[in-house]
A and B are shown apart, each in its own frame.
Chain A
Amino acid sequence: MALNRPIAPLVHGDHSVRGVMVKVLYALVPALLVYVGFFGFGILIHMVLAVVVAVAAEAVMLRLRGRPVRPFVTDGSAPVTAMLLCFALPPLAPWWVTVVGVLFAIVVAKHLYGGLGNNPFNPAMAGYVLLLVSFPLPMTTWPVAFTVSGEYPGPLVSAAIIFLGPDGVASWDAITGATPLDLMKTQLGLNQVVPEIAAHPVFGDFGGKGWEWLANAFFLGGLWLLYKKVITWHIPVAMLGSLFIMSLGFAALDPGSHPSPLFHLFSGGAMIGAFFIATDPVSAATSPRGRLIYGAGIGILTFVIRTWGGYPDGVAFAVLLMNMMVPTIDYYTKPRVFGHGPQHGPEHGRDHGRDHGRG
């Protein structure tokens, strides 16, 4: 009789792409709660919209590309992209901002580059940057934390603003204001010094009011991902470490025109970037050493863009710029192969020695 011929290994770990994605979604929950707590229901509305659009776009693209739809649509990668993008959008931005951003992320940044696993750029960040450069006004109209404004946009108000626009919302001016990073940048540009600026009510203990808690929540989720081995420490540590060191150096030299390292770490996209964006495996460097370089590059570029660039936050641009560097980084950080001896460089890879078995 014919025997089956299973191929070793016959045992496997319980890892799956979906499992990884689901864990990332879980890890985002604390941040989502904090976000809703401080900035209202807008983000939830955008997220529902974003996930629906993302999954639909994913399905259509898979069909067009002739790929099996089911396993891919259910792999969870599209919802993760959608949710990460929503954390970068102003929660009361018009609905079409999300639709355009998600479509660009999924259709162009992901599928036109070959779909899951082949996209050189982080789709969420590509979508965000497209929106930022195309629609600067809605993309920079941010609400301030309700602890500052006293106004909490509930579900109905949020939905009305998102789908109908802010006209007729009496408190619109109270709700919106500059983000801490934005304020810091514009005020420094007006020759104010950091301690003066930090006296403004939007600033909290080390970041912005509300924002610093959000950063804490991302940090928490990130630690959980580390614990669950979904991500490794290399990228977060390298990115936050380099951002910390850069900002510490400049703040020590000139505290008047450079905010503290803590402000840098707990403001804007630093935390979500370090744990959720830069660690996106598809678009990041692969070897442990490569990841250290990649993460450090993002941290340094973030600081440079925030300090001297044209945008208040630099994480998205830094990630995309380092995405471009990945092939080069990967090439020069091939680990030393076991048995190749430290004396040999990374290029010493060729040999024909068959392995000698075991025993």
Chain B
Amino acid sequence: MSTRTGDFPGGLHLDGHKTPSSGRAVETMPVPPLLVFPLHQHIGEPALPVVEVGESVLAGQLIAHAEDYVSAPVHASTSGRVVAIEKRPVPHPSGLPAECIVVEADGEDRQAPCEAPGDFETMDLSALRNRIREAGIVGMGGAGFPTFIKLNPGPGGDIDTVVLNGVECEPYITCDDRLMQERAADIVSGALIIRHAVGAGRCVIGVEDNKPKAAAALRAAARDGVTVQTVVTRYPAGGEKQLIKILTGREVPSDGLPLNAGVVVQNVATAAAIFHAVSEGRPLISRVVTVTGPGVAEPRNLEVRLGTPVADVLAHCGADTAAVRAVVVGGAMMGFAIHDLASPVVKTTNCLLVDAVADDADQPQMPCIRCGACVEVCPQLLLPQQLYWYASVRDFDKVQDYSLFDCIECGCCNFVCPSHIPLASYFRFAKNEIWAQERERQRADRARERHEFNQARKEQEERERQERHRRKKARLKDPPDEAAPADSKKAAVQEALKRAQARKEGLEAGTEGTEDRG
């Protein structure tokens, strides 16, 4: 299909639903009385608390520290007192509660001293990345990948282009649109920092051509070689792979990352956060959230402190929280429903879509008629009807033959299917099943290895015992000559030492195995 720059295969023209909120400037929501900070707001390992219950904290103060490489620290977003560190509802598709630090606001909103403002051009690159890391910045477009990792191409990474994603192709969401209109200079400054960090020459901000104001604001703010390029308004132009294709004509290899195509992509909100972190020393403690949907009288974009419970946000927007029936985080195409209004706004919460119900909910699901409509719209050039067929009969080898893992779950196929088959859900389900099987298999493998190791050790000990026994018998049968005893004694000592050493190493390897995946 299309291989031109400026376009991508498949996709949909969707109705916007954006006008209610796109015309309103970002408003700041007051600090709520109680804030909940999940330790896991990003892809990777959860952060570890560095505060204790009862401790006072300041806005911007580190409250959980990133121990692992793929992780991100968490900061308090207002001043107050830690009242609990416990499992609370969090915005996650699983609906399972997760460990959170709960802070009772003192209403004074006292700020922790900011790190000294820095000049990124003179900063050491690893110091620069570290600063972004310490500010707790993760991808704010919804994925939540720790940002500093993407800025560290590592050996072999050869990035020549920075792409800023200003394509908000999901219906309803307008927070990035407003951000681009109102804080274009911050975004451009962030872009320059990113470009510097990865040593790229080119930096393009991609904006959908239905956001002329955002594009104009960015163009006016653009400097030092940052360019703004409008892209087709066709869902999912904001998908990372699609956007790279549009702007550079390159395809991210299926099993690779954007950096394999020489590109690093950051969302515009992330770029602004990077600017605040580096040039102003401000950690990520708030973000712009679009609050919209049939359940809110006046859709708007709000600057919300991270940790603010969804219920407070909705109440602030005039919604009767007792009457709210459903809240989807993210867009109508790819978002997921939260299970509890007590879930907080986190770093990746770009949109709260209230009381939107599937507009074909009453349509019965019919069999696939192989009409191929799904094939035509799939931006990844997959064959959704084949994937569906194999996913529904749980043939997980075949779904992988049909490249299940290239599915970006954009829901385009779902949208057009005349049989109303929830294709994207089937694909999500199949992926989860395969991951679960994979984990199960790894667990079993490790258990087997451990068992085999123990078995081998027992056999070894048994062999050694018998060997000793045999030697002893042999010695008793015909006593050695004069010269030998010293030598053989020395050798025996050596051997025993070696054996002990080997056993120790073996044991260590064994226990390590267990700890790894406990």
**Which residues of A line the B interface, CB within 8 A?**
1, 3-13, 15-17, 19-20, 68, 71-72, 75, 77, 115-118, 232, 281-282, 284, 286-288, 291, 330, 334-341, 349-359
Contact = CB atoms under 8 A, between A and B. Distances in A.
The size class of the interface chain B forms with chain A is 35 or more
Contacts of B324: 3
Nearest to A5: B337
Interface stretch (B104-112, B369-377, B483-491, B496-504): B369-377
A17 B376 CA distance: 17
Interface stretch (B28-36, B125-133, B378-386, B459-467): B378-386
Contacts of A284: 370
Given A77-B369, A330-B386, A357-B139, 11 more contacts: A9-B424, A10-B328, A11-B358, A15-B417, A72-B366, A281-B369, A288-B375, A340-B406, A341-B254, A358-B267, A359-B140
B299 interface: no
Contact of A337 (B333, B371, B406): B406
Contacts of B416: 13, 15
B402 A334 contact: yes
Interface in B210-242: 236, 238-241
B247 to A, nearest CB: 14
Nearest to B325: A4
B77 interface: no
Contacts, number: 233
B266 interface: yes
Contact of B341 (A3, A6, A16, A118): A3
A359 B383 contact: no
B366 to A, nearest CB: 5
B336 interface: yes
B479 interface: no
Interface stretch (B49-57, B255-263, B439-447): B255-263
Interface in B317-368: 322, 324-328, 330-341, 353, 356-361, 363-364, 366-368
A282 to B, nearest CB: 5
25 contacts: A3-B340, A4-B337, A6-B361, A9-B411, A10-B328, A10-B333, A10-B353, A11-B171, A11-B358, A12-B414, A12-B420, A13-B12, A15-B417, A75-B366, A117-B366, A286-B386, A287-B383, A291-B372, A330-B386, A335-B1, A335-B382, A341-B254, A356-B258, A357-B141, A358-B142
* Chain A interface, DSSP helix/strand/loop, else mixed: loop
3 residue pairs, one from A and one from B, having the closest CB atoms: A359-B141, A357-B143, A359-B267
B160 interface: no
B181 interface: no
A288 B381 CA distance: 11
A15 B414 CA distance: 11
Interface string B175-203: 00000000000000000000000000000
Contacts of A337: 254, 380-382, 403, 406
Contact of B367 (A11, A13, A20, A116): A116
B422 interface: yes
A10 B424 contact: no
B279 interface: no
A232 B374 CA distance: 13
Interface in B120-154: 139-145
A11 B333 contact: yes
A287 B402 CA distance: 13
B419 A17 contact: yes
Nearest to B348: A359
Nearest to B326: A4
Contact of A287 (B15, B140, B375): B375
